[in-house]
Amino acid sequence: MLAPVHPAPLPWSAASLVRRSAVLRFQVHMRKFIALSAALSLSAAEASAQTSAAPSMSSSLFQMFLGLAGVLALLIGSLWLLKKLTTQRGAGAGLMRVVAATAVGGRERVVIVEVGSTWLVLGVAPGRVSALAEIPRQTIPEPPAGTGTVAVSDWLHQLIQKR
């Protein structure tokens, strides 16, 4: 049986600071992008006001699809930028990884985190993380062949064959 370890302060604050700075950088970039988009749309509105002609149905549809494409491009660009800014970089990027996790209650989990050559067994609840034990790194056993996950395509194929 593993002996419980006294909870020690963990370096979570450094990770949260990195995440917070990435979010702040993302917000600055988004504000600049929105200001540029607003300036371009105002200049386009002024240009269209100068050439006021009777709008046709095809130009209205073209303008609507152009606006839709702009919004989708803005959404995809924002998501890409968010992904790039929130990924961990540098020497600390690969120091920790979650080995296993299981739910033990409605909102409580037990998580095994690999840090260097040790595994930390952590109890995670809303607003609280407690160190339960510290064990040396072990090899992860392979699951039996019959209990593996089934691909969705295989599952649908089996379902169709049963009917």
| Between residues 110 and 84, the one the model is more confident about | 110
| Between residues 90 and 35, the one the model is more confident about | 35
| 146 residue type, one letter | G
pLDDT bracket for residue 142 (50, 70, 90): confident
Q: What is the pLDDT of residues 29-60, one digit of tens each?
A: 888 888 888 777 777 667 666 655 566 788 88
| Between residues 109 and 18, the one the model is more confident about | 109
What is the pLDDT, as a whole number, of residue 144?
64
What is the pLDDT, as a whole number, of residue 87?
72
- Of all helices (H) and strands (E), which one includes residue 147? none
Distance CA 17, CA 138 (A): 31
pTM of the model as a whole: 0.38
What is the pLDDT, as a whole number, of residue 162?
81
The 10 Å Cβ neighbour count of residue 78 is 14
Strands 118-125 and 128-136: antiparallel
Quick check: 104 pLDDT over 70? yes
Q: Which residues contact 71 (CB under 8 A, 6 or more apart)?
A: none
User: Mean pLDDT of all residues in the chain?
Assistant: 78
Six-digit token pair at 121?
């067994």
| 50 residue type, one letter | Q
Cα–Cα distances in angstroms (integers) from residue 72 to residues 28, 34, 65, 79, 83, in the given order: 20, 14, 10, 11, 17
Quick check: 71 pLDDT over 80? yes
Cα–Cα distances in angstroms (integers) from residue 9 to residues 2, 5, 106, 137, in the given order: 20, 12, 26, 20
What is the pLDDT, as a whole number, of residue 67?
93
